Amino acid sequence: MNTHYNTKFGREIITIYPGETYTSQEDEIISTVIGSCISIALYDRKKCFGGLNHFMLARDCGTKTSVSRQEKGCFGEYAVKQLIEDMIANGADYNNLVAKVFGGSTLLNLSGSGNQVSNVNIQFAFECLENEKIPVISSDTGGSEPRKIFFETKTAKIWLKRLQTSPDSLPADQYRFL
């Protein structure tokens, strides 16, 4: 996790990295960059605060017996639970949670099959939230470009910027508001 001042927003931004989760009741902006990874933003609609995670793979293959919280957070099966637990520990009501899902870009089309990491990650995120009975109110997944997202914890606003990977990409300073 890193904090830095962002001139576009005129305030401090908390940046999370793969395996990390950050939740805040304060008026903060959390940012991350995702390619084939997934980030889920959870928000309590009544208490007006939220959190964001960033995971790399849907499931842990179980090669290590002892792993840190951040290492576990690299896997969706743990990262989603961590985010929900952090939200509840900060006072969220489970029944008021809503989600926004981002990422799952296919950056390298190596296999040409539907079982690419990005597709598995996207499917896992939506199935997991459905199983948890947390409605997804917004999403931007798939495609071939990585994304940078900014999540405002007090309002659940997301600013999304597609990162330029080819000359045909959108300008790097173009944001979509979700």
Which residue shows structure tokens 């995971």? 55
Chain segment 103-158, per-residue pLDDT in tens: 999 876 555 554 588 999 999 999 999 999 999 999 999 998 999 999 999 999 99
Q: Domain segments of the chain: what residues?
A: 2-177
For the domain 2-177, what is the CATH code? 3.30.1330.200
- Phi, psi of 121, rounded to the nearest 5 degrees: -60, -45
Mean of pLDDT values over 30-53: 97
Question: For tokens 């999304």, what's the residue?
Answer: 160
Give the predicted TM-score (pTM) of the model: 0.86
Stated length of the chain: 178
Environment class of residue 177 by beta-carbon count within 10 Å: exposed (0-12), middle (13-18) or buried (19+)?
Answer: exposed
> What is the model's pLDDT at position 66?
53
